[in-house]
């Protein structure tokens, strides 16, 4: 297939691109506003790889006849999207409509990477796909969580008049090599801090939970979801739930057991708990994550050791 992937130079996108390049022609559209060009350095030699370096909101020519469009482009770190809220919401709303138009024009299949943030601060635990969420439309995360929700709504609306074969995946917290140092997300922060001998900054009391999925597992879920039926929505994540303080202790034990833990204010609207219900992905995609947190963290830490 000829595959067009927006955000294909990002943390998750570059891992997906790497896998797709084994069997397909891949054109990445990325402006590297929140990722490093190093992520795709090795692909540039690959004969099946093309790069269009642009913001998807700008006009650009694609020069291919795509069979599949994967729309992943978006800032995804809370620190990053709070700095650039308008760009974030535009990428997920206008950007999604624009990519849908291209999919319609070329009769390409379409996959949108949404997020667990569509569930907001969830009142149902774990979160199944049919939960509508608990989101603050005016809060500091709104550009991202409401942006992704509106991206989903944009798809549902667009296909009413212009049919596109689409599916949506909601990605939960993911980690692994190519996470950006200093991107503000918890694993990136904790690992960088421990490696530098700095105190580990736990926000709030650290009792809030997240469920962390190793990037290779996530990519295998994305590949399976690409082949799913149209209009399906899947949670992709690892249901192994951990409190943030537990995560800090695990990382500390691997890198530097003497590291200090310091407590900082909890950011506004920080969800208290998050854990995917992946029964649907298990059943319909035959997918589930395999990598234990400690094993995945060790691989991630090896990567960070080289760059920190």
Which phi and psi angles does 190 have, rounded to 5°?
-60, -45
Neighbours of 161 (CB within 10 A): 7
Q: Does 202 bind ligand UDP (CB under 6 A)?
A: yes
Active site residue 131: no
Which CB sits closer to ligand UDP, 66 or 176? 176
Q: Does 218 bind ligand UDP (CB under 6 A)?
A: no
Q: Does 242 bind ligand UDP (CB under 6 A)?
A: no
Q: Does 99 bind ligand UDP (CB under 6 A)?
A: no
| Residue among 68, 119, 144, 214 flagged as catalytic | 144
> Can you read off the two tokens belonging to residue 85?
């809220």
Stretch that binds ligand UDP, among 35-43, 195-203, 216-224, 227-235 (CB under 6 A): 195-203
CA angle 138, 87, 74 (to 5 degrees): 100
Q: Does 169 bind ligand UDP (CB under 6 A)?
A: no
- List 210, 242, 252, 275, residue binding ligand UDP (CB under 6 A): 210
Q: Does 185 bind ligand UDP (CB under 6 A)?
A: yes
Which CB sits closer to ligand UDP, 205 or 295? 205
Stretch that binds ligand UDP, among 23-31, 90-98, 197-205, 296-304 (CB under 6 A): 197-205
- Min. distance of Cβ 248 from ligand UDP in angstroms? 7
Stretch that binds ligand UDP, among 14-22, 88-96, 196-204, 290-298 (CB under 6 A): 196-204
How far lies 291's CA from each of 115, 227, 240, 277, 288, in Å? 20, 23, 10, 17, 10
Which CB sits closer to ligand UDP, 105 or 264? 264
The answer to whether residues 238 and 216 touch, using CB atoms and an 8 Å cutoff, is no
What residues from 261 to 290 belong to the interface with ligand UDP (CB under 6 A)? 266-267, 270
Which CB sits closer to ligand UDP, 25 or 277? 277
Angle between helices 293-307 and 186-196 (to 10 degrees): 60
- Min. distance of Cβ 177 from ligand UDP in angstroms? 16
Q: Does 186 bind ligand UDP (CB under 6 A)?
A: yes
Q: Does 213 bind ligand UDP (CB under 6 A)?
A: no
- List 27, 35, 96, 208, residue binding ligand UDP (CB under 6 A): 208
Q: Among all residues, which ones are annotated catalytic? A: 144
Write out the residues near ligand UDP by the rule CB under 6 A. Answer: 78, 173, 185-186, 189, 201-203, 208, 210, 244, 266-267, 270
């Amino acid at each position: 297939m000829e595959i067009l992937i927006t955000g294909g130079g990002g943390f998750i996108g570059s891992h997906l691109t790497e896998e797709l390049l084994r069997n397909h022609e891949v054109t990445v559209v990325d402006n590297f506003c929140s990722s490093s060009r190093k992520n795709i350095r090795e692909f540039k030699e690959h004969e099946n790889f093309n790069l269009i370096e642009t913001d998807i909101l700008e006009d650009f020519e694609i020069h291919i006849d795509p069979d599949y469009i994967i729309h992943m482009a978006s800032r995804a770190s809370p620190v990053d999207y709070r700095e650039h809220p308008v760009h974030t919401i535009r990428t997920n709303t206008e950007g999604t409509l624009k990519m849908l138009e291209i999919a319609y024009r070329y009769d390409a299949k379409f996959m949108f990477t949404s997020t667990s943030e569509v569930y907001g601060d969830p009142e149902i635990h774990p979160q199944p796909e049919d939960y509508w969420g608990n989101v603050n439309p005016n809060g500091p995360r709104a550009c991202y969580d409401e942006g992704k929700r509106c991206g989903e709504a944009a798809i549902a609306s667009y296909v009413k008049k212009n049919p596109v074969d689409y599916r949506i995946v909601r990605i939960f917290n993911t980690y692994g090599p190519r996470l950006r140092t200093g991107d503000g997300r918890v694993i990136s922060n904790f690992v960088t801090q421990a490696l530098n001998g700095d105190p580990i900054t736990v926000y709030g009391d650290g009792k809030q939970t997240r469920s962390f999925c190793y990037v290779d597992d996530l990519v295998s879920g994305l590949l399976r979801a690409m082949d799913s039926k149209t209009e399906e929505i899947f949670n992709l994540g690892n249901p192994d739930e951990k409190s943030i303080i537990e995560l800090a202790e695990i990382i500390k034990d691997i890198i530097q057991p003497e590291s200090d833990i310091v407590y900082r204010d909890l950011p506004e609207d920080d969800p208290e708990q998050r854990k995917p219900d992946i029964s649907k992905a298990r059943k319909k995609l035959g997918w589930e994550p395999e990598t234990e947190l400690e094993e995945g963290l060790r691989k991630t830490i090896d990567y960070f050791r080289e760059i920190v």
